[in-house]
Structure 1
Amino acid sequence: MARTVEIHVPTGLFIDNKFVAATDSQTIDIENPSTGAHLATVSAAQAADVNRAVKSSLAAFTSSWRQSEPSTRRALLNRLADLIERDANELASIEAVDAGMLYRMSLGLSVAQAAETCRYFAGWTDKLDGQSMRIAEGMAYTQREPIGVCSAIVPWNAPLMITVWKLAPALAAGNTLIIKTPEVAPLYGQKLAQLIVEAGFPPGVVNILCGLGTVAGQTLAEHPLVRKVSFTGSATVGRRILESSARTNLKRVTVELGGKGPTCVFADADWENALAHVTAGITVHNGQICAAGSRIYVQDEIYDRFVAEFSKRTRDAVAGDPLLDSTVKGPLVSAAQRARVEGYIQKALKEDTKLLHGDASSHASPKGHFVPNTAFVDVQPSATIMREEVFGPVASIARFRTEEEVIALANDSEYGLSAAVFTSDVTRAMRISDAVECGQVTVNMWGTVNANTPFGGYKQSGFGRDLGKEGLDEWTNVKCVKVVIMEFHATLATLSIALLVQACRCQQGNPDSDPYVPVYTECPENLTVRNASDGLSPQEESWRSTRGKQVMTALQDYLNTANISDFDIQGYMDKLNESTVPIVGMSISGGGTQSGIGGLGVWQAYDARYPAAVAAGTGGLTQILSYIAGLSGGGAVTVSLIAANNFGTLEAIRGVTNFSAPYDVGPTGNETEFFNNIFENAGAKAELGFPVSVADTFGQFWATWLPQNSTYLNYSDLAANGSSLAEGAGPMPIITLAEVVPGQSPEIGKIMYPGRNDTNGFNLTSYEVTPFEFGSWVGGRVQGFIPTQWLGTSMDNGTAQNSSQCVAGFDKFSLVQGSTTNAFCAWFIDDFYGRPIFAKRSIHNRQQGSNETDDIPIPQGQEQSPLVQIVNETASNFQQTFNESMWATYPNPFQGYNDAMGNTSELLLVDGSLTGENNPIRPLIIPDRQVDFIVVYEASSEGTYSWVNGTSLQNTARSASEGGIPFPKIPRVETMITKNFTSQPTFFGCNDTSNGPLVLYLPNSPWTAYSNYSYQMSSFTDEQLNATIDNAFQLATYGNGSFDAEWSACLACAATARSAERVGIDLPEQCTRCFSRHCWDGKESDAKVSEKDLDLKPKLNTTLTFQAWNSTVWQEGSGSSQGGGSGGSGGSGGSGGGGGNGGSGGNGDGGGGGSGGGSGNGGDGGGDSGSSGSSDNGGGTGSALSAHAIPSGPILCLPVLAFGFAVWG
């Protein structure tokens, strides 16, 4: 009977209960497998779309779904079952035209099973019970909890049914779910999405995406916010998913990876029943079923008769339109699948396997993807079709004699999903069922599935289960709560029972521990301090070789993209190897989130994975970086997020980082929980005797933006075997720190600071932290290194004090972040005494403080400062003075190593920018590293109106000169400003005859946005991020080439200049022209700095005022940091947002704080012409948010902490 079908379904991605287009409007064409004709065009999810779906799912999970009543979830699942049954004809028709499944099979199996599964798991919503147990100390109980954001990657062979196998238990348990539908048969998912909305599921509980497995599927598998992946499909893809999980967050994975089902037919079997089930087992849905009975073993006594009857029943199946009732077999799902099956048939013939029937060269329809039922007999165990999953209507038939023989044959496979046994002997059936290595055994039937019975495999058929209670368990975590009952005496208590509750997650791979606390362990052999004069460490040398191979691969692509005229790329590449490739570094300055977010924009502007960068000709420079260094905001944000996200794209970083969550209140917005967790972590560390400081508490703020799996990551973990860094997939991250030395460092009001002056910049110790080592190269107190992994170990005279007790895990990622942003001394000197310390301040009027050793006095009125409060709270919780808590305190690995270190047991570390070198360039100019080209992005707010003026770059040049380190000469500030070097990309060192690097200076300046917002900003809307990142892109690409069409070539010339010289390649004339236009010629300018030079306007829209931009782009609700006009008046704070910063510099008072938030910052007394004023009216650097009092309390009885503030670096 003919069936006319007209179906309308949306073709967009289903995100947040809406159908939306994919990023860049990417699509996939779907065809009808019966005819090969175009069926539909659907949106194809890209990585950004997956990120949108994850955000939607996470919001739904955390806001309400996980706490939803079981009765609510039950009602919704039952309602969905009703709707599936109501629209059964439409769903079956979709599977027929989309997946090639027979209409009647879809109706009777797929659709019916989907409804049954919804109802079955609906009944479980209020039965997720745990157990109670007695323990020696009291009692314990378990409870089942939802996992969180989960994903299901679904195959095309029975898509609706298998989708609901995963959807129903996931939702019943309280998870949210992202479904990746198969790219060749996604239309059922579009219809299912409509039913999800109609059933009443809240937005975000279910998101459904069609997309390529290599894009959408891989992004889900790697996504650190996705806590579980349930996958049904091939073993090859299953392994990739497991690898992706291992690389990221070790998410829960369940996989069903196909099968090679043995069917064992004994001579005593019911003849008709056996034939009916065996023939169905390999021909139903063309054998495109994981549990297909493709290996058919028939006992010798009935073998010939069985083969003849099997052939009679299967060889002449009527193929055609799966919508027709007369059709017995439909098409395979795609041309690729047909070619795959035909390939197996041809291989069997080449292996001289005996063909029973089937002619792969003749199809029922020349247009569709049809393959006739095919059978081979007397198939040997070694035959390819007997060992590999064909996933088509191809039967492999062989004989057996004994029970033992057939068991051995059945188990002779890497798969173990499903088996079938046909016999009248029940005892035999039970014996074989016990012996066969399969997840499911059916006796005297084939392929039945039931909602209440588990389905899954052994061996390479995967692990985990769908369906049944076991299937539900896969979607839950088990928490064990142990209650110890203790009696104690309290004078006012009538009943004195204290419950000390220990909650421990008992799920696999997540043991209960204090993840922030370092551990004592055996020392490695020969743990010593390495002398810096020995050059690079063996670990870094080895890594450079690995990275060099990756750079070699990427370099040629980059040069082709950059398109340098008349440059013999191949000739240049032929002369290179991994040791002679360009060594390129990137430096991201301090400057809080102003530098941190802008630095991410520069990373993207040079990233070959970013289409706009490739179009601009700059894409690929990121891929040839060997080093990326950061300090303060550039270290805690840019470098840390890039490294913690495995050097991924900015799009991927934004997908897992909720920048709208203020890092000073935590990822969930629950301040009480956030601060309690911070102090509990620090307290656990203190209890074991490790030093704790504000770098521990403040440092955990920055973990808000780290991937969830990196919250307690050690910095040295970045170099672990198998990591992205170890495999050379990205540049080596470097974080720089400075130090204060009691009795040596200058003071103001008893607050020490590193104390740069005109002659001692090089003599201030500059420490660097890499995944390999911690230490200092030249200058300062020490020239040595210790492996970062063993930071915290007590050392003396270069060796471990106790060789059996070393410390591992001290180098927490967040501690390093908190250390490099630890500028509390500068903030307090500025707030308490109006004496600025940062590089933007004059360095001539600093004063020496007294040498008294009593604690730092806090001026009246400053006690409620949130910055003071966080230090005070750290001090009071850990029995320290205010002064003791203010530094990043590390056990000194260099104690006794030289005279300068003597008996110094601890290092007191601070923000590296406090030496006056706000750009972390020093690690990149160490001669041992031989860096050829350095990209310096600076957003230090050192200049007027919080732009830059070149002071920090000058200070680096001065320090390098003092230390005899080659570095380009840098002009005076006046020259930097009047020649526009502080507002556009500029090269330095092009004509330098020394061995120093060539430097590209990228100063934060307005191109499309006023990116001089407050470096105190702790959260960003998407619009604010986009504006900041696009501005950095325009800066890095020179206005996307609009100011100089040759800019991309100029950039590549600079990147390769030193390397080309080494291998004897002359750069073309175009490079000479580039350097003449964009490189400082060494001549100072006599021009005077004018207000026009300082009051910058966006280069790509010079008529755009700050006021207009702020009201239309930066959005109301965020306090502005932009100073307005020549007086530097402050922008107004948005309603409900933080107060705006006054303009820094300029002759005049800074603006007042914005309304609706806390007190705003006053304008910074800037440059040489600005004057230092008081807080909120000049030079103060007050908090951007209001503070609430923090009650004090002992370590083990932590207070409720409720305060917020924005912090900068």
Structure 2
Amino acid sequence: MQMKDLAVVAFLSYLATVNAWSPTNSYTPGKVSCDSNINLIRKADGLAPEESEWLAKREGNTKEALKTFLDRATSKFSDNSIVDSIFSSTTPRVGFASCGGGYRAMFVDAGVVAAMDERTVGANENGLGGLLQGISYMAGSSGGSFFTTTVTYNNWTSVQEIIDQMKDGDHSIWDLSNSPTNPGGSDTEYTNEVFANITESIKLKNEAGFDVSLADAWGLAFGYYFFPSLPRGGYSYQWSDIQDADVFKNGEMPLLIEIAKVEKAGETSVDLSSTTIEMSPFEFGSWEPTINTFSNMKYLGTEVNNGSPVNAGECIAGFDNVDFLTSASTNVINTLNNNGGFYASMIQSFKTRFLPNVTTTGHIDVNIAAPNPFKGTSNYESDSSIVDNDQLYLVDGGIDGQVIPFTPLMRKERDLDLVIATDTTADTDDVWPFGSALVATYERQFMEIGKTDAFPYVPDTETIVNLGINKNPTFFGCNSSNLTDLAYVPPLVVYLPNRAYSYDTNVSTSVLTYTREQRLGMIRNGFEIATRNNFTDDPDFLGCMGCAVMRRKQEQIGLEWPSECQQCFQMYCWNGTISNSNTVSVPSSSVSSNSSTAVSTGISSATGASTENFSTIHIETSTTVTCHECEEAQATATVEVCDECEQGNTQVTATVECEECEEIATNGHHTTTTLTSMTTTTQICEECEEAQAQATATSPVTVSANVGSESTESSSNSSNDYSNNSNGSSNDSSNSSSNDSSNGSSNGSSGSNNTVNSSSSSKPILQVTTGVASAASQYGVIVNENNADSLVIKSFVTLIAIVGTVIELL
């Protein structure tokens, strides 16, 4: 028997053990007996008893895992006795937020988590191995939910296990050689079978009296890629059944929470004021004042009145289908539908294909939870429209701009000390982040809907770009004493934005097909994002992550802060510096050969110099000019950029030295300003540090770095793309109270100037090969989760491709 077949048998045995099937053994929910006095709802005034009991079990495991991780992370500290002091009385509590962004997010997040997983080959030597074993909560939204659902509901499998069996065309987990719009590729018989199964499942659910929509088809279609070993992609697999899995019952895995947004009746979109729904193994509900109630997940779909079943002793089970709830967290169909025109016609074509002879409520583009589990409840504090409605309409959890699912992890009731968050948003047209998701969650806490939330102070998006925060790990909320003006002291946040190391991971959300090589390239780059290129950018980053884990407990207990942690926080904490007032507004674009023009965004000097004082020496003319003059002259520039930046650079560039940045050279950095397609960016040229005496850096320098080495010339303690030379100090707005312990981070790079730029020879991690992402797809529609109503067709050729895809489905 093949290894894959053995895995299938083992997983099916696991499902049989936990009885993980709906009562009807299909996608259709069914009636079951329940206690005649059961009440399925509770007020959101604390954790559910089940969650509290589970958390106690989990912390029995996380204590040992975090202690082991921190012992390793601090092993080179001059004094690491703080670890023993912390664990003598308490255990830090850590969460992971898996950002949205379609398959791009799924793969990058997979790589980040692999770097934290002791089960990953090389993670302990060259990564953050063991940290995942110490994480208590994992939250997912949109494309991040694709990742979290996959690993959680495949019996807490590892990324290593997934890639070990990864092939093209064998229908293994994440085999995306074919799109969900044509799952069989040239095998039309397979495609027809899949579509027939989806259509039948929806039809039978509807005939049983449950509202259906295209969102049902969305979830069922993706299930084939996440649960390929299960019949029909897990069409009868229940969300709540993870409670019965030994790996969960024993607290050997994090608790998964995925989020969706509520679209009110009569509305067609959501925004920051919309209600957030949490979906955990135990409950379905919201902390927010519009609902303020949680419902029992197992019996979701039961008709209730204020939580009591209308028919005493009779409940519904199986409505909490894994594919359906994953769909609720990832559904962007309504975004397409709201754009009208061609998109609306396309949605109608899908309706004809998947909802034939089905009676719908007219809401064909949202996930419909009906009966509404909150019908008739009285715990809400404002706006009864949601609890008054017979149905609950759910859409993608990141469409409101909160693409990073912070909210479940920030709750005071869960008492987390640290949240590690990826950012794989498509903020720019060439699909790199510039921090809009951070800003969205920060701002929402000051709205009525978010009044019971707290989130650390963060800068505006222009500052995030100007300081290079969107390209480097950054810590937010480093000093709890600066957060007392918030509703409560929130966890410290470690922000890990998507950037290119060995692979261009700025692939459009709309790309639905990936070769094995592309998948592995994306995952490997995610590993490198989490580890600062396997610690070659900063050999001390492992210790800095350890400091982040310990910080809140160190503050609470009053322990002495190690000098190494102080240095880490000076390097990685945002200190409240704001630089948007000194912005030179110029268009931004990527140097990547396979990227499109980026969104316009402000770029300024990393040192916060004013526009009138900021000048550069233009190499070709040896004259001092302003940035604007440099931009006009860039078309004639011929000076080479560093070797590490040349890959994929097909546009005219010039490298100049900024007079205002000359001080940085005294801190051990050679700093250059690069002009590319009318974009002025300032960044540390790590490859030129050895030759920093050559002010113009006209000769490319190549350095080889060994993974895991204790010291390499290209990865000294100071060469982490951050400079402690920020002039600014926050003295305006509420951000002034977030002035943490460090000087500001400084990079000054455009969010779009983010392509593969490392010439380091790194030891292969995850046995992954590298390559250039082709980003080929049948679709050319950009779904920007932060501006979900802004969808554009990139070209007429793409339009034809979409039409062809629609025809395929008919």
Distance 1:906 1:1172 in 2: 28
Please state if 1:629 is matched with 2:629.
Answer: no
Query: For 2:332, which of 796, 809, 823 is the aligned residue?
Result: 823
Query: For 1:975, which of 449, 463, 485 is the aligned residue?
Result: 463
Distance 1:511 1:862 in 2: 34
Task: Report the CA distance between 1:614 and its aligned residue.
Answer: 0.9
Distance 2:496 2:455 in 1: 17
Give runs of aligned pairs for residues 340-489 of structure 1, distance below 5 A: none
Q: Say if 2:781 and 2:791, in contact at 8 Å, map to a contact too.
A: no
* Distance change in 2, residues 1:818/1:1033 (3 Å): same
In the other structure, the counterpart of 1:776 is 286
Counterpart of 1:608, as a letter, is E
1022-1031 vs 666-675, greater mean Cα deviation: 666-675
Task: Report the CA distance between 1:900 and its aligned residue.
Answer: 3.7
Task: Report the CA distance between 1:633 and its aligned residue.
Answer: 0.9
* Distance change in 2, residues 1:601/1:1092 (3 Å): farther
Aligned to 2:495, the other structure's residue is in SS state strand
In the other structure, the counterpart of 1:1047 is 541
Cα deviation, 1:817-844, whole Å, max 9, x if unaligned, reads: 21112122222334x3xxxxxxxxxxxx
Counterpart of 1:906, as a letter, is Q
Task: Report the CA distance between 1:688 and its aligned residue.
Answer: 0.8
In the other structure, the counterpart of 1:1160 is 780
* Distance change in 2, residues 1:1161/1:944 (3 Å): closer
Distance 1:1107 1:673 in 2: 45
In the other structure, the counterpart of 2:809 is 1203
Distance 1:680 1:927 in 2: 44
Please state if 1:609 is matched with 2:119.
Answer: yes
In the other structure, the counterpart of 2:180 is 663
Aligned to 1:965, the other structure's residue is in SS state coil
Counterpart of 1:672, as a letter, is N
In the other structure, the counterpart of 1:792 is 301
* Distance change in 2, residues 1:1165/1:1187 (3 Å): same
In the other structure, the counterpart of 2:47 is 536
Counterpart of 1:950, as a letter, is G
Counterpart of 1:515, as a letter, is S
In the other structure, the counterpart of 1:1088 is 583
Q: Say if 2:121 and 2:160, in contact at 8 Å, map to a contact too.
A: no
Query: For 1:246, which of 10, 13, 34 is the aligned residue?
Result: 13
Q: Say if 2:57 and 2:251, in contact at 8 Å, map to a contact too.
A: yes
Query: For 1:890, which of 362, 369, 392 is the aligned residue?
Result: 369
In the other structure, the counterpart of 1:802 is 311
* Distance change in 2, residues 1:603/1:1155 (3 Å): closer
Distance 2:532 2:780 in 1: 34
Query: For 2:426, which of 941, 946, 963 is the aligned residue?
Result: 941
Task: Report the CA distance between 1:552 and its aligned residue.
Answer: 1.3
In the other structure, the counterpart of 2:498 is 1004
Cα deviation, 1:830-889, whole Å, max 9, x if unaligned, reads: 4x3xxxxxxxxxxxxxxxxxxxxxxxxxx3x55763x442234445431336x4211100
Distance 1:1161 1:921 in 2: 27
Q: Say if 1:977 and 1:1089, in contact at 8 Å, map to a contact too.
A: no
The number of equivalent residue pairs is 616
Q: Say if 1:823 and 1:911, in contact at 8 Å, map to a contact too.
A: yes
Distance 1:532 1:988 in 2: 31
Counterpart of 2:177, as a letter, is S
Cα deviation, 1:1131-1170, whole Å, max 9, x if unaligned, reads: xxxxxxxxxxxxx999xxxxxxx99975634798999xxx
In the other structure, the counterpart of 2:107 is 597
Distance 1:632 1:1094 in 2: 26
Query: For 2:68, which of 544, 557, 573 is the aligned residue?
Result: 557
In the other structure, the counterpart of 2:743 is none
Task: Report the CA distance between 1:664 and its aligned residue.
Answer: 3.6
* Distance change in 2, residues 1:862/1:906 (3 Å): closer
Q: Say if 2:502 and 2:525, in contact at 8 Å, map to a contact too.
A: yes
Counterpart of 2:544, as a letter, is C
Q: Say if 2:139 and 2:257, in contact at 8 Å, map to a contact too.
A: yes
Aligned to 2:399, the other structure's residue is in SS state helix
Aligned to 1:673, the other structure's residue is in SS state helix
Q: Say if 1:596 and 1:634, in contact at 8 Å, map to a contact too.
A: yes
In the other structure, the counterpart of 2:58 is 547
Distance 2:477 2:306 in 1: 41
In the other structure, the counterpart of 2:26 is 515
Q: Say if 1:645 and 1:653, in contact at 8 Å, map to a contact too.
A: no
Task: Report the CA distance between 1:569 and its aligned residue.
Answer: 5.9
Aligned to 1:628, the other structure's residue is in SS state strand
* Distance change in 2, residues 1:1101/1:701 (3 Å): farther
Please state if 1:706 is matched with 2:189.
Answer: no
Please state if 1:1102 is matched with 2:645.
Answer: yes
In the other structure, the counterpart of 1:471 is none
Cα deviation, 1:632-674, whole Å, max 9, x if unaligned, reads: 1111x21111101222220212335134343343478521111
The TM-score normalised by the length of structure 2 is: 0.70
Please state if 1:686 is matched with 2:195.
Answer: no
Task: Report the CA distance between 1:901 and its aligned residue.
Answer: 3.9
* Distance change in 2, residues 1:999/1:1155 (3 Å): closer
Counterpart of 1:972, as a letter, is D
Aligned to 2:95, the other structure's residue is in SS state strand
Distance 1:511 1:819 in 2: 18
Please state if 1:1067 is matched with 2:561.
Answer: yes
Cα deviation, 1:407-441, whole Å, max 9, x if unaligned, reads: xxxxxxxxxxxxxxxxxxxxxxxxxxxxxxxxxxx
Aligned to 1:913, the other structure's residue is in SS state coil
Counterpart of 2:440, as a letter, is N
Query: For 1:1078, which of 561, 568, 572 is the aligned residue?
Result: 572
Give runs of aligned pairs for residues 22-421 of structure 1, distance below 5 A: 151=1, 177=2, 221=6, 223-224=7-8, 227=9, 246-247=13-14
Counterpart of 2:357, as a letter, is N
Distance 2:73 2:21 in 1: 47
Distance 1:705 1:644 in 2: 13
* Distance change in 2, residues 1:1183/1:818 (3 Å): farther
Counterpart of 1:590, as a letter, is G
Q: Say if 2:261 and 2:277, in contact at 8 Å, map to a contact too.
A: yes
Task: Report the CA distance between 1:567 and its aligned residue.
Answer: 1.2
In the other structure, the counterpart of 1:114 is none
Cα deviation, 1:544-579, whole Å, max 9, x if unaligned, reads: 001001101211221133235121266236514xxx
Task: Report the CA distance between 1:1025 and its aligned residue.
Answer: 1.2
Task: Report the CA distance between 1:1014 and its aligned residue.
Answer: 1.6
Distance 1:964 1:908 in 2: 23
* Distance change in 2, residues 1:573/1:1182 (3 Å): farther
Counterpart of 1:956, as a letter, is T
Please state if 1:572 is matched with 2:572.
Answer: no
Q: Say if 1:988 and 1:998, in contact at 8 Å, map to a contact too.
A: yes
Q: Say if 2:283 and 2:295, in contact at 8 Å, map to a contact too.
A: yes
Aligned to 1:879, the other structure's residue is in SS state coil
Cα deviation, 1:1036-1056, whole Å, max 9, x if unaligned, reads: 101211221110010111012
Counterpart of 1:889, as a letter, is I
Distance 1:1100 1:777 in 2: 51
In the other structure, the counterpart of 2:618 is none
* Distance change in 2, residues 1:808/1:1014 (3 Å): same
Task: Report the CA distance between 1:741 and its aligned residue.
Answer: 1.2
Aligned to 1:651, the other structure's residue is in SS state helix
The TM-score normalised by the length of structure 1 is: 0.48
Aligned to 1:725, the other structure's residue is in SS state helix
Q: Say if 1:1161 and 1:1175, in contact at 8 Å, map to a contact too.
A: yes
Please state if 1:915 is matched with 2:364.
Answer: no
Q: Give the RMSD, CA atoms, in angstroms.
A: 3.6
* Distance change in 2, residues 1:1106/1:520 (3 Å): farther
Aligned to 1:611, the other structure's residue is in SS state coil
In the other structure, the counterpart of 2:601 is none
Structure 1: any 5+ residue segments left out of the alignment?
1-150, 152-176, 179-218, 228-241, 252-507, 746-751, 833-858, 1109-1124, 1129-1143, 1147-1153, 1191-1201, 1205-1209
